[in-house]
Amino acid sequence: MDSTINGALQQAAAQLLTEGKVGLVIGYGRANGGPSAAPAFVRRAEDAERLLFDATCFANLAVYLAKKDVRDLLRGAASQAVGVVVKGCDLRAVNVLLREHVVERSGVVLIGVRCPGVGEPLLSKCTACDVHEPQGCDVVVGEAVPQAQAEKADRYPLVAPIEEMPLDKRWAYWEEQLGSCIRCYACRQACPLCYCRRCIVEKSSPQWVETSAHLRGNLAWNAARALHLTGRCVGCGECERVCPMHLPLSALNQKMAKLVEERYGFRSGLSAEETAPFSAFAAEDTEEGIL
Amino acid sequence: MATTATAASLFQASAGWLAAAAEKLRAAGIEVLAPIEREQGRVDLAPLEGRNGLAANYLNTVLPLKRLSFPETEVILNYDKRENKDVALDVPSAPAGERVVLGCRPCDASALAALDQVFEWDYDDVRYRQHRERTTVVAFACTEPDGHCFCTSVGGSPQGEAGSDVLAYPTKDGGALLKPLTEKGAQLMERLEGVVQPAPEGAKLPAPPLVKPKFDPDKVKPWLDEHFEDAFWTEATLACVGCGACSYLCPTCHCFDIVDEAVWNRGERRRNWDCCSFSLFTLHASGHNPRASQAARYRQRVMHKFKYFPERFGRLACVGCGRCVRTCGVGQSLVAVLADIEARNGTGG
């Protein structure tokens, strides 16, 4: 990892705060002596020295942009804008928040980091990463990372092994996996795009999705989550990373993303100006998915 | 410090005893639950069948022991509305069969002692009690705690005896020394005759591994008593995204929700785990939420474990298993929060 990146990051954050361009910078810091970097919330320039970037910066900080508690921190601050440190993959989530008008571009200052990948060994999303260079940020720090051409086949490595299973085995696989979901909703809470004020699973009159952690309820919940993110999910993998039961949620997400790329030629979050297939109508839309 | 036990109070078993004990109990019609490695690094308490999958050096199970008596979801009532508008109710009993847990950790077992106080407090929770009564708990003393374990900060020990019927000390040769702690535990030793033998006079129990104390709960509570409203709560919980992973993996968290799941006129009423981190947890029908922020919800979690529960039941609602710290995806650490509070208490801040 680039050794000068921490200094550049701290300087950029301190400058934004000093100049009053932001009231808060959300970045990564070392917290509690834990092995991984943790989210850090910096409101004073002199605290910017807490910020760092390394291969343990897993969390997608875009999740905090839509959280009310974080917005409330800005009460009384000179600037209501939030600076957020984003890896290329996290930036895709910010782009979706922008395109869905959850976040206004003027309300956010994007501090991009050129990330060579996180995890030891590298996470699988990092080995197929084609967004090492964050596009469209206000500040970018870190040394350039060579960008290998990622093939489409490399983007969805978790799909093929499951698609190859005969239908009955595939069902048994998901029954076993999703059967052990405990409904803690860590997947939902860590997802930058699960920002609904009231999730469908919390709507109880009528109860659309059963909240019990039995197979029926778990299938309904996990299907609802995957479908609601279809054409939106950017594959950051946070849901799977935070799942205490280690459910293979990325496999579900990749399946949906693969379908969307195949049918609509669309990959979510590559730009904030994109039009998502399920947000727009075109006469030439494929009707394959319509029952 | 190694302690010497009298022969009558201590039993020993040789390598392979776990499988042999399971076999013997199963032959007597008793369900046996043991730590099974389902996938790499994921250990669950599950029925032991043969020796396959039996976890060797596991830190702890993913889910806590509480789920055997207080499952993540459980039917507590069946109802059927008849044509004459009568409603037929059926309260299902917990399964009657005996079961033996071979190999939970002492922290999880000690959490049962806290849960017993709640579920047998002002209301006798029949299902919980039925599950508890049919279960014999054999905890395995810890030999390799990790850096997140903090049982010694909350009155426990890697060799803690609370909540267990038998405490087993693994020995280096694959065997174990077993110390029955209750009537149930003594009965189990009798049942396992042939697999376990009385230990020889002077058999020595191993010294406990070191689990460094990280905070002193007695120095945390005075600050909690005075600082329900404090900016600390907001600052300390900014990263919390409000999921339920810490509560659901917690061996002592015991809040639940009750839901009805019906098809036409018939349905079941279920008790499901719930969690004070969820914004819906205290949302009133009026729309008002007395715990409107994540800081208020996190405060509740800390207050319940280290202030309210001790005031009501005379003990902490935390056993120091460390699951909440290990599982948190955003590095939120209960231990760090408590250590911070202890430091504030000292400075009057």
Into how many domains does chain A fold? Answer: 2
Query: What's the rounded mean pLDDT across residues A212-225?
Result: 97
Q: Does residue A147 form part of some domain?
A: no
Residue A174 inside a domain? The answer is yes
Are B189 and B332 in a shared domain? no
A220 is in which domain, residue-wise? 152-279
Q: What are the structure tokens assigned to B342, written together?
A: 């202890």
Task: Assess whether A176 and A219 both reside in one domain.
Answer: yes
Which residues lie closer than 8 Å to A125 by C-beta, 6 or more apart? A89, A235, A236, A237, A250
Mutate which of A44, A201, A204, A245 to test chain B, going by most B C-beta atoms within 10 A?
A245
* Runs of H (alpha helix) within A68-164: 68-72, 88-99, 124-127, 152-155, 159-163
Whole-complex ipTM: 0.94
- Bridge partners of B33? B47, B101
CA–CA distance, B335 with A46 (Å, rounded to integer): 27
My answer on whether B221 and B337 are in the same domain is yes
* pLDDT, mean over chain B: 92
Q: Does A29 fall in a domain?
A: yes
State whether A129 and A207 are in the same domain.
Answer: no
The Cα–Cα gap between A245 and B63 comes to 9
**Do B36 and B179 have their domain in common?**
yes
- Which candidate in A63, A182, A187 is best for mutational testing of the B interface (most B CBs within 10 A)? A182
Instruction: Using pLDDT thresholds of 50, 70 and 90, give the confidence band for residue B74.
Output: very high
Backbone φ and ψ for A250, nearest 5 degrees, come out as -65, -30
Q: Which residues contact A248 (CB under 8 A, 6 or more apart)?
A: A158, A177, A240
Calculate what percentage of chain A has a pLDDT beyond 90: 77
pLDDT band at residue B2 using 50, 70 and 90 as cut-offs = very low
Q: How many CB atoms lie within 10 A of CB B240?
A: 22
* CB < 8 Å to A37, chain B: 331
Residues B181, B259, single domain; the answer is no
CB contact under 8 Å between B273 and A34, yes or no, is no
Interface test with A, best of B238, B250, B278, B298 (most A CBs within 10 A): B238
- In single-letter form, the type of residue at position B64 comes to P
Is A290 a domain residue? no
Q: What is the structure's pLDDT at A52?
A: 96
Where does a domain end: A92, A108, A141? A141
B268, two tokens: 């079941």
The answer to whether residues B240 and B339 belong to one domain is: yes
Q: What is the largest CA-CA distance in chain B?
A: 72
Q: How far is CA A259 from CA A121, A137, A229, in A?
A: 28, 29, 12
Instruction: Confirm whether B206 is domain-assigned.
Output: no
Using the predicted structure, report yes or no on whether residue B3 has a pLDDT greater than 60. Answer: no
**Whole domain around residue B293: which residue ranges?**
217-347
Mutate to test the interface with A, among B330, B333, B334, B340 (most CBs of A within 10 A): B330
Same-domain check for residues B165 and B24: yes
Asked if A202 and A261 sit in the same domain, the reply is: yes
Note if the bond before A121 is cis, omega within 30 degrees.
yes
Which of A141, A162, A197 is where one domain is finished?
A141
- The verdict on residue B71 lying in a domain is yes
Asked whether residue B52 carries a pLDDT value surpassing 80, the answer given is no
* Confidence check: pLDDT of B263 > 50: yes
Highest mean pLDDT among A105-114, A255-264, B44-53, B85-94: A105-114
Q: Is the pLDDT of residue B32 over 70?
A: yes
Residue B348: pLDDT over 60? no
User: Residue B208: inside a domain, yes or no?
Assistant: no
Q: Which residues of B are less than 8 Å from A202 in CB distance?
A: 280
SS3 A207: strand
Residues of B with CB under 8 A from a CB of A: 39, 42, 62-63, 72-73, 234, 238-239, 241-245, 247-249, 257, 259, 261, 270, 272-273, 275, 278, 280, 293-295, 325, 327, 329-333, 335-336
How much is the pLDDT for A78? 86
If asked whether residues A177 and A76 sit together in one domain, one would say: no
Does any domain span residue A16?
Answer: yes
Pick from A32, A72, A184: CB nearest B248: A184
Residues in A whose CB is inside 8 Å of some CB of B read 31-32, 34, 36-39, 41, 58-59, 63, 67-70, 72-73, 182-186, 188-190, 202, 207, 210-214, 217, 238, 241-242, 244-246
Q: What distance in Å separates residue B1's CA from the closest CA in chain A?
A: 30
Listed residues A120, A141, A162: the one ending a domain: A141
Give the residue-averaged pLDDT of A13-36: 90
What is the predicted pLDDT for the residue at A282? Answer: 80
Q: Do A185 and B243 touch (CB under 8 A)?
A: yes
Tell me which residue of B340, B327, B343, B334 sits closest to B42, measured CA to CA: B327
Does the structure show a pLDDT above 50 at A189? yes
Over residues B84-90, the mean pLDDT reads 91
Chain B residue closest in CA terms to A35:
B331
- Which pLDDT band holds residue B83 (cuts at 50, 70, 90)? confident
Nearest to B100 by CA among B18, B213, B2: B18
Shortest distance between the Cα of A38 and any Cα of chain B, in A, equals 5
Return the pLDDT at A147: 78
Pair B124, B95 in one domain: yes
Beta pairing, strands A139-141 & A108-113:
parallel
- Comparing CB atoms, the residue among A59, A212, A245 nearest residue B329 is A59
pTM: 0.94
B191 and B226 fall within a common domain: no
C-alpha distance from residue A118 to each of A9, A44, A87, A125 (Å): 17, 28, 10, 9
B311 CB-near residues (< 8 Å, 6+ apart)? none
pLDDT of residue A28 exceeding 70, the answer is yes
pLDDT single digits (tens) A106-161: 999 999 999 999 999 999 889 888 899 999 999 999 999 887 776 777 889 999 99
Helix, strand, coil percentages, rounded to 5, for chain A = 40, 10, 50
Task: Kindly state whether residues A94 and A66 are assigned to the same domain.
Answer: yes
Q: Which residue has the higher pLDDT, A9 or A33?
A: A9
In a shared domain, residues A272 and A160 = yes
Task: Give the residue-averaged pLDDT of B232-255.
Answer: 96
C-alpha count within 13 angstroms, C-beta hemisphere, residue B30: 21
In chain B, the number of structural domains is 2
Q: Are B86 and B121 in contact (CB under 8 A)?
A: no
Looking at the fold, whether A136 and A158 belong to one and the same domain comes out as: no
On whether both B67 and B186 belong to a single domain, the answer is: yes
Lowest mean pLDDT among A17-31, A145-159, B269-283: A145-159
What is the pLDDT at residue A32?
67
CA-derived radius of gyration, chain B: 22
pLDDT at A124 (0 to 100)? 87
Q: What is the pLDDT of residues B98-138, one digit of tens each?
A: 999 999 999 999 999 999 999 999 889 999 999 999 999 99
Predicted pLDDT of residue B5: 46
Residues of chain A with C-beta less than 8 angstroms from the C-beta of B63: 182
Write out pLDDT tens, residues A2-14: 679 999 999 999 9
Residue A77: band (very low, low, confident or very high) from pLDDT cuts 50, 70, 90? confident
The dihedral of CA A15, A21, A27, A33: what is its sign? positive
- Contact A214/B73, CB-based, under 8 Å? yes
Residue A291 lies in a domain: no
Q: Both A47 and A173 in a single domain?
A: no
Across B152-158, average pLDDT: 97
Q: Are residues A13 and A78 in the same domain?
A: yes
Residues A9 and A125 in one domain: yes
- Is B2 domain-assigned? no
